[in-house]
Amino acid sequence: MTEAPVAFRNFIGGQWVEPSTGEYIENRNPANVSDLIGLFPRSGPDDVDAAVRSAARGFEQWRRTPAPRRGDVLRRVGDLLAERKEELARAMTREMGKVTQEARGDVQEAIDTAYYAGTEGRRLFGRTVPSELPRKWAMTSRRPIGVCGVITPFNFPIAIPSWKLFPALLCGNAVVFKPAEDVPHSATLLVEILVEAGVPPEAVQLVHGTGEEVGAAIVEHPGIAAVSFTGSTETGSRIGEACGRLHKRLSLEMGGKNAQIVMPDADIDLALDGVLWGAFGTAGQRCTATSRLLLHDSIHDEFVTALAGRIGQLRLGDGMDPDTDVGPLINQAAVDKVVRYVEMARSEGDEILCGGRRAYSGHLAGGFFFEPTLVTGVRPGSPLALEEIFGPVLSVMRFDTLDEAIRINNEVAYGLSSSIYTRDIDAAFHAIEALDNGITYVNAPTIGAEAHLPFGGVKMTGNGHREGGWEVFDFYTETRVSYVDFSGRLQRAQIDTYAAAPY
């Protein structure tokens, strides 16, 4: 007899509850679709409303907890993540597909973020400044915003939620969390840890479901004061329109079309290592993935030949297998998108040097696998030069001068990450100044954010806010200005003159 699949629940009002809709979504292993992980709620607006009302109660409790004590809870979250690291990594690989070594790194990033957020509980600094009037004190402090909506993607099922949830909670906010419907199990495990660590049960709500049904309800709900979203630029634009209309604070982290530039004086072996990891880590499903490789004309042929040989050695397979280098794509729609772009490349006259096919045979037959693909001859202005693919496809382009490479890098609508390999310090700093990106790496790939530094991009990648580092705490707080007048008389700021003030 076939065992019935496990039906998971939302976390609303401090309890694990069934969705009001009574509907569920299957969660399957992308490396083997016959492996059913469980059934997860397909929630609706009523579930969101219940979560927001509960979060409002949780906010009133949590905001009154001193920030250093909130930091203690976040440090406990980090401890629990560390204790359960292997369990979380394996659950993530089964659900999302990335190899377990990468999944461990995903959890480690959340651990780092928890510990960093914990220290900020004693560093939510305000400012004291001189008043223009005598016997008067002027200062600022920070206060939480309220209930924050957190909407996250599939590709970093623990790390990206941690970038949003941990600072939001540290600042004293309550959160309503909607993970991508492809990775609900990782989100469930993370919320369990938050509650076990001591976050008040009503300060964190987990509502599973689709973006159209749950994500939209979060954005539109009048009880949500701020929204943090990571996902596609198209969806982010719609969220931006809604939040602008509703006067909500909004942080957007969206697409990327990241380039690695290789100069003729570069360490070629190092640059090869970098582009392999940057382009094919997480099967190219990263907003910071190296999607374009810009090669100086003098090294182009040598580099491409060596790269094609290295790509041919990458092992495609189930991320649970320690011998696997590249796991599956997340779902059939992701495969179909990559197929479309490879066909575009062929129609444009580009050369597919390796890969370019979905992998069906043998142990790959049951999953969403696509061969790591190298495309050469890509021309500026073409779809493969401009558009985000979010898969294991690398577009190679030639350049003659560094300024030309910078122009090619900057021509895209996105501006997240960039990379340059060179031994020339002048070239490196010229690139840092001129590349139109939020992040630039020198002699390192386009991926590799660190938890204590701001993360984000420009142009259509974001809307000016940053994840991570010290800047994210500004997003999740309001500035309160306080004046204390102990002069014992009415002083009219901006009316009294300095000459008239007694000293």
User: What's the pLDDT tens digit per position in 6-52?
Assistant: 999 999 999 999 999 999 999 999 999 999 999 999 999 999 999 99
Q: Is residue 236 part of a domain?
A: yes
Task: Give the catalytic positions in this structure.
Answer: 253, 287
Per-position b or e across 81-102, b if 16+ CB within 10 A of its CB:
beebbeebbebbbbbbbbbbeb
Q: Is residue 449 part of a domain?
A: no
Q: What angle in degrees, to the nearest 10, is found between the helix axes of 85-96 and 67-83?
A: 70
Tokens 């990379």 locate to 419
Examine the domain organization and report whether 402 and 303 are in the same domain. Answer: yes
Question: Given this model, what pLDDT does residue 503 score?
Answer: 52
Question: Given this model, what pLDDT does residue 495 score?
Answer: 74
Examine the domain organization and report whether 208 and 304 are in the same domain. Answer: no
Q: Is residue 448 part of a domain?
A: no
Examine the domain organization and report whether 189 and 290 are in the same domain. Answer: no
CATH number, position 381? 3.40.309.10
Q: Is residue 144 part of a domain?
A: yes
Cα distance between residue 448 and residue 210, in whole Å:
29
Q: Is residue 489 part of a domain?
A: no
Examine the domain organization and report whether 250 and 285 are in the same domain. Answer: no
Number of residues assigned to the chain:
503
Sheet (strand 249-253) strand order: 15-17, 10-12, 204-206, 174-178, 147-151, 226-230, 249-253
- Cα 435 from chain centroid (whole Å): 21
Q: Between 492 and 12, name the one with better pLDDT.
A: 12
User: What's the pLDDT tens digit per position in 229-258?
Assistant: 999 999 999 999 999 999 999 999 999 999
Residues in Cβ contact with 483 at an 8 Å cutoff, skipping those fewer than 6 apart: 131, 136, 137, 138
Cα distance between residue 329 and residue 233, in whole Å:
20
Q: Which helix (H) or strand (E) holds 217?
A: helix 216-220
Average pLDDT over residues 93-112: 98
Q: Nearest CA to 25 among 9, 4, 42?
A: 42
Question: Given this model, what pLDDT does residue 299 score?
Answer: 98
Give me 135's structure tokens.
């016997």
- Which DSSP state fits 3? P
Examine the domain organization and report whether 119 and 191 are in the same domain. Answer: yes
Strand partners, 428: none
* 3-state SS, residue 456: coil
Examine the domain organization and report whether 225 and 328 are in the same domain. Answer: no
pLDDT-derived band at 217, boundaries 50, 70, 90: very high
Q: Nearest CA to 221 among 169, 178, 171?
A: 178
Cα distance between residue 18 and residue 8, in whole Å:
8
Check pLDDT > 60 for residue 159. Answer: yes
CATH number, position 224? 3.40.605.10
Cα distance between residue 186 and residue 93, in whole Å:
10
Q: Is residue 485 part of a domain?
A: no
User: What's the pLDDT tens digit per position in 268-296?
Assistant: 999 999 999 999 999 999 999 999 999 99
pLDDT averaged over every residue in the chain: 96
Check pLDDT > 70 for residue 497. Answer: no
Question: Given this model, what pLDDT does residue 169 score?
Answer: 98
Question: Given this model, what pLDDT does residue 501 score?
Answer: 52
Examine the domain organization and report whether 48 and 151 are in the same domain. Answer: yes
Give me 438's structure tokens.
């939020």
Q: Helices in 23-146 by DSSP H: which ranges?
A: 45-62, 67-83, 85-96, 100-120
pLDDT-derived band at 200, boundaries 50, 70, 90: very high
Question: Given this model, what pLDDT does residue 3 score?
Answer: 77
- Which DSSP state fits 309? H
| DSSP result, 17-28 | E--TT--EEEEE
Examine the domain organization and report whether 278 and 248 are in the same domain. Answer: no
Examine the domain organization and report whether 143 and 161 are in the same domain. Answer: yes
Q: Nearest CA to 18 among 51, 41, 48?
A: 41
**Count of CA atoms in the C-beta half-sphere (13 A) of 78:** 23
Check pLDDT > 80 for residue 214. Answer: yes
Cα distance between residue 140 and residue 17, in whole Å:
41
- Residues of the domain holding 337: 258-442
Q: Is residue 293 within 8 Å of residue 397, measured between CB atoms?
A: yes
Q: Is residue 399 part of a domain?
A: yes
Q: How many other β-carbons are positioned within 10 Å of the β-carbon of residue 497?
A: 6
User: What's the pLDDT tens digit per position in 412-452?
Assistant: 999 999 999 999 999 999 999 999 999 999 999 999 989 99
Give me 337's structure tokens.
């998108």
Share of the chain above pLDDT 70, in %: 98
Q: Is residue 450 part of a domain?
A: no
* 3-state SS, residue 421: strand
Share of the chain above pLDDT 90, in %: 96
Give me 25's structure tokens.
């979504």
Q: Is residue 406 within 8 Å of residue 431, measured between CB atoms?
A: yes
pLDDT-derived band at 498, boundaries 50, 70, 90: low
- In the chain, how many domains are there? 2
Examine the domain organization and report whether 200 and 56 are in the same domain. Answer: yes
Cα distance between residue 340 and residue 174, in whole Å:
41
Examine the domain organization and report whether 225 and 178 are in the same domain. Answer: yes
User: What's the pLDDT tens digit per position in 454-465?
Assistant: 999 999 999 999
Check pLDDT > 80 for residue 496. Answer: no
Examine the domain organization and report whether 97 and 242 are in the same domain. Answer: yes
Question: Given this model, what pLDDT does residue 502 score?
Answer: 54
pLDDT-derived band at 499, boundaries 50, 70, 90: low
